[in-house]
Amino acid sequence: MKKLFLAAIAGAVTMFVVGGLTHLVIFKDLLLSLKGSVVDINRPEPLLPVTILALIILGLIMSYMYPKGVEGNDKIMQGLKFGVIISLLWFLPCNLIEYSMTTVLSLQSILFDAVLHAIEQGLGGVAIALVYGNLPLKSK
């Protein structure tokens, strides 16, 4: 249980920092330029407590699932692969459905943001893997 919560916090903090840097600093202007047809959809200030809650929930889910799927001894690569798969599971389908039904998001913004989330959750997965350390391989 202790590792689960430590891994969740490590993953959430990593994803918060990487997500903040990529979405609000490095690629902010590019992401704003890729929006859909609805003008000015962004809040003047992000609801950071909601973002933190969402990332803690994501971190807990990822930390719970990670030990169940470890396939190799390279924890960095296993964590990265796990995080990228999680990003594809949660981000891409939901946003493609949103794109199919609204004009809030452009396809370009979804695809670019999917890459950013793959990096964000990939590094979150690495943080989780590092907390868990070496886990025994699952027998198949």
- At position 129, the amino acid (one-letter code) is A
pLDDT tier for residue 139 given thresholds of 50, 70 and 90: very low
pLDDT of residue 103: 82
Query: pLDDT, tens digit, for every residue of 10-58?
Result: 999 999 999 999 988 999 888 888 877 666 666 778 789 999 999 999 9
pTM recorded for the entire structure: 0.83
Specify whether the CB–CB gap between 130 and 88 falls below 8 A.
Answer: no
DSSP string over 28-91: HHHHHHTB-SSS--S-SS--HHHHHHHHHHHHHHHHHHGGGS--SS-HHHHHHHHHHHHHHHHT
Q: What are phi and psi of 35, to 5 degrees?
A: -65, 165
**Burial environment of residue 117 by CB neighbours within 10 A (0 to 12, 13 to 18, 19 or more):** buried
